[in-house]
Structure 1
Amino acid sequence: MQTQKLSFKHYLIIGSMLFGMFFGAGNLIFPIHLGQLAGAHWLTAGVGFLLTGTLLPLLGIIAISVTRSSGIYELARPIGKRYATIFMVLTCATLGPLFATPRTATTPFQIGIASHVSASQAPLFLLIYSLIFFAITYWASRKPTKIIDTIGKLLNPAFLILLAIIFGIAFTHPLGSAHATATTAAYQSDAFLNGFLQGYNTMDALAALLFGIAVVTTIRSLGQHDANDIAKTAAKSSLLSITLEAAIYLGLIWLGATSLTHFKISTDGGIAFSQIANAFMGVPGAIILAIMATLTCLTTSVGLASSFSEALHAKFPKISYLAWNRLACGASFLIANIGLDAIIAWSTPMLMFLYPLAITLIILSIASPLFQKDPIVYRWTTALTLIPAAFDALGAAPAVITRQGWAQWLLAFDAKYLPMAKLGMDWVVPALIGLMIGLSWYAIRRFILGRQLKGDQA
């Protein structure tokens, strides 16, 4: 089938769609909060944050392009069909109705509306706001082919204009000097690693694996059908969106650090952002912030609901796309009403478990041509990543779990025997060991097979 050459305008449209999908709730609040925690070390922490917040999602899109996978299930299938199904369902649930999608409604409510209503009124206002929010999400995500128009051409420009207003005032009239602010204890010596782990909260690496479906569908709708052309277009377009996202992240982290001159460290970046906007522009600033947060989170909500429905409909075709979409929007509406703090608290353990598995999967996928996508390399690496990832999830669980005797024993074992356990990076060494075992096994089998072929030819 003949493939169409795309113009730079097409790359911009696809890149805009990806930016709208990636940049949402966590992308606003966590960089601000990171800046407050890191203080004078904001740039070091910011570099760590960019690795998991921007580079890793870019590598995720490239991984899908390199392997020519249609989605997260196919990407993980070399490990095993059952594992691929479980990993896909957990990722879809995390990005869908369990955590990420409900957060797209609670975050803009928290930073734009909650501070202007009483505590007793907040639940009712959240109910009304989230109902309208997810009704719009359902309407916009009913037909996946409309994603590019809904996100790329309408909502993104409005969001970027509003964000530019905030940054313009902040850069010309800064609240203080970021390099002169205090640094919390955790960021005095481990700013980079803590910034790296904070990037998990964006969920963008997981989203990249899920959004691959929407990217491929959109590129094909623009007239490209050759697999190599689709891969190149996906990589170029994602690079545009990730570069813009990285610039915004650094601006938000810097903004959080400068805010310490006037404000104490807040419990989350949403409160901090609201305080900063009010300091710059008063009530008009709060209104701009509420609109900005709603727009950016709505774009992400539409992308998440569409990709969730596409992925599960492809795997379980007996259930229609619209049925999955109704489930995503309906369940997200219900869970959103438990509040932002509860959503963040319960999502962290899942992210600490899934991210190491996602990181190793992305690296293996990109490097797969070197070992001919041999399942043995995938399986050894993943097997030795699973247990420490489970330890990390347990360590990040709410206190009601970590205070249990069995949990204390397991965490003590983890800290004693696995390097970097206290930093939440205890999966790194086991994963490298698994990778080396897998590659060695692959090399030995190739060597034996080569010797057998030579013997047969002789």
Structure 2
Amino acid sequence: MNALSRKDTLFISLMLFSLFFGAGNLIFPPFLGQSAGSELWPAVTGFILSAVGLPILGVIAVAKSNGLHSLANRVHPVFAVVFTVMIYLAIGPFLGIPRAGSLAFEMGVQPFLPEGVNVKAALFGYTFCYFALAYWLALKPSKLVDRFGKVLTPVLLVLISLIFIRALSYPFEPAGQPAGNYVTKAFATGFTDGYATMDTIAALNFGIVIAMALKQKGMTSAKSIMSSSIRAGVIAGTLLAIIYLMLAYLGSVSHANAANGAITLTNIVFTLFGPFGAVLLGVVFTLACLTTSVGLLTSCSQYFEQLVPKVSYKVWVSTIAVFSLLVANLGLTMILKISVPVLTAIYPVAIMLIVLSLTNSLIKGKQGVYALSILFVGIVSVTDACLQSGLNLGAWGELVKTLPLYNTGFGWLVPAIAGAMGGYLLSLYNLKGKVVHSKQVKSYSK
């Protein structure tokens, strides 16, 4: 079979949506809305471009390239292994999975704890049960479409829609004044804030899950798998954009001065539903975080099983689940603090890989273009991450800060273009050299 029914396409799209829609997707849009205020529309446009547009392009890039490893291999075989492992570790046991488990506790359980309870002990007990359940669900990746696409995702969408519909009839005051960087550069700030969802690098991971789901539906043609993956990505992305607009709007009319999006959303739901809002929000957060954790457990374990075939999928699921449990108990604040510089280092490289993949026919697959542009982007993004971590890089750090668009978070863009152009010219020069050498050899042979 090389064509999916509309029903199967919808369920796979809903499964993909549930894999994307986790912790960050719930807490960042409301905080953006709160911070952007009257500048909501340019801010949320930038956010959707990076938090929805780039992940969709990531799904397309991975589908066209037959996997992340194959795509990264166009740069260099060593880079393919190192970068792919970094992506899977970052989105998996080091940041993405633990963040989801920790946030599910803070939003779904902690508000109901009585005073005097040891929060650290409660966190460990909850995350132990949480990751045990995630482990059990990840053991059967063939059932993800049925469990997520047909059950959990529709429930999640109904609950979020319920909150939004109630908000439309509530007499909120108009959006307030923008704050921080949203005052002067709302679009750029919204765009870079979209990095925090981690969905672009997640898209590079989830390609393997989608492909497996399609094969289990009986698809065998590589072309059909690619087109179906793209279709599922577009549908899932459309749903994400709609939910982000809802959540950002709620944040813009909340007029709260909350420290993060989780508190912003909590204040909104309590205003709309009273004490029942805590239960509703707890269910929403738990479902969203659990589905993402299972998807990441599955994709990471499948990748590492391919990388190290001697270790079984079940062992990888167990190892990643246990490690994620330990990291989750560092607490959400610490995990978020670590994630910012890590994402600053990885995201521009991932974006550039996606762009190069989508323009592969234009650049004719020249390795020099891939290698030099990724090298330049990587140098700038890693430097920026070090600076954000508070490291003093001296003159080099000051030099990087002078790059065009650096203050808007796009300091890597000009080096990326320069690297791509330089790599293209270098490839042409090498090709010309080979042609001349070939003619000389033929001349001598005569």
CA–CA separation in structure 2 for the residues paired with 1:454 and 1:162 = 70
Per the alignment, residue 300 of structure 2 pairs with: 308
| Superposition map of 1:107-122 within 5 A | 107-117=103-113, 118=115, 121-122=118-119
3-state SS, counterpart of residue 318 of structure 1: coil
3-state SS, counterpart of residue 79 of structure 1: coil
| CA displacement, residues 202-259 of structure 1 (integer Å, 9 cap, x when unaligned) | 0000011011101111111111111111111111111001001001111111111110
Displacement after TM superposition at 1:451 (Å): 8.0
Per the alignment, residue 36 of structure 2 pairs with: 38
**Aligned pair partner of 1:414 in 395, 400, 418:** 400
Per the alignment, residue 365 of structure 2 pairs with: 373
- Taking only the aligned residue pairs, the percentage that are identical comes to 35
CA–CA separation in structure 1 for the residues paired with 2:435 and 2:234 = 40
**Aligned pair partner of 2:343 in 341, 351, 357:** 351
**Aligned pair partner of 1:151 in 148, 151, 162:** 148
**Aligned pair partner of 2:291 in 287, 299, 305:** 299
Per the alignment, residue 355 of structure 2 pairs with: 363
**Aligned pair partner of 1:73 in 69, 80, 92:** 69
Per the alignment, residue 96 of structure 2 pairs with: 100
Per the alignment, residue 9 of structure 2 pairs with: 11
CA–CA separation in structure 2 for the residues paired with 1:176 and 1:322 = 52
Displacement after TM superposition at 1:412 (Å): 2.6
Query: 1:73, 1:85 within 8 Å by CA — same for their partners in 2?
Result: yes
Displacement after TM superposition at 1:284 (Å): 0.8
3-state SS, counterpart of residue 359 of structure 2: helix
Aligned positions, number? 441
CA–CA separation in structure 2 for the residues paired with 1:120 and 1:430 = 52
**Aligned pair partner of 2:53 in 52, 55, 58:** 55
CA–CA separation in structure 1 for the residues paired with 2:43 and 2:428 = 39
Query: Structure 1 165/74 Cα, relative in aligned 2: closer, same or farther at 3 Å?
Result: same
CA–CA separation in structure 1 for the residues paired with 2:78 and 2:139 = 29
Residue 385, structure 1, aligned to residue 371, structure 2: no
Flag structure 2 segments of 5+ consecutive residues without an equivalent: none
Per the alignment, residue 440 of structure 1 pairs with: 425
CA–CA separation in structure 2 for the residues paired with 1:158 and 1:124 = 30
| Superposition map of 1:9-408 within 5 A | 9-67=7-65, 69=66, 71-117=67-113, 118=115, 121-178=118-175, 181-260=176-255, 263-264=256-257, 266-397=258-389, 402=390, 404=391, 406-407=392-393
Query: 2:366, 2:424 within 8 Å by CA — same for their partners in 1?
Result: no
Flag structure 1 segments of 5+ consecutive residues without an equivalent: none
CA–CA separation in structure 1 for the residues paired with 2:327 and 2:238 = 32
Displacement after TM superposition at 1:429 (Å): 0.6
Give the partner amino acid of 2:119: A
Give the partner amino acid of 1:433: A
CA–CA separation in structure 2 for the residues paired with 1:164 and 1:270 = 18
Comparing 443-452 with 85-94, greater Cα deviation is found at: 443-452
Query: 1:111, 1:273 within 8 Å by CA — same for their partners in 2?
Result: no
CA–CA separation in structure 1 for the residues paired with 2:64 and 2:362 = 12
Give the partner amino acid of 1:106: S
Displacement after TM superposition at 1:338 (Å): 1.1
CA–CA separation in structure 1 for the residues paired with 2:29 and 2:425 = 40
Backbone CA RMSD of aligned residues: 2.0
CA–CA separation in structure 2 for the residues paired with 1:268 and 1:342 = 14
Give the partner amino acid of 1:135: A
| CA displacement, residues 300-353 of structure 1 (integer Å, 9 cap, x when unaligned) | 010000001011111111211111111111111111111111100001111000
3-state SS, counterpart of residue 253 of structure 2: helix
Give the partner amino acid of 1:318: K
CA–CA separation in structure 2 for the residues paired with 1:251 and 1:454 = 65
| CA displacement, residues 344-402 of structure 1 (integer Å, 9 cap, x when unaligned) | 000111100000000000011111122332211110111111111012211332xxxx1
TM-score by length of 2: 0.94
CA–CA separation in structure 2 for the residues paired with 1:410 and 1:342 = 28
CA–CA separation in structure 2 for the residues paired with 1:62 and 1:294 = 29
Residue 423, structure 1, aligned to residue 408, structure 2: yes
Displacement after TM superposition at 1:410 (Å): 4.5
Comparing 20-29 with 101-110, greater Cα deviation is found at: 101-110
| CA displacement, residues 88-110 of structure 1 (integer Å, 9 cap, x when unaligned) | 11111111111110111111222
CA–CA separation in structure 2 for the residues paired with 1:66 and 1:445 = 27
Query: 2:208, 2:299 within 8 Å by CA — same for their partners in 1?
Result: yes
Displacement after TM superposition at 1:453 (Å): 8.7
Displacement after TM superposition at 1:120 (Å): 5.4
| CA displacement, residues 101-147 of structure 1 (integer Å, 9 cap, x when unaligned) | 01111112222332343475322221222111111100000122122
Query: 2:196, 2:340 within 8 Å by CA — same for their partners in 1?
Result: yes
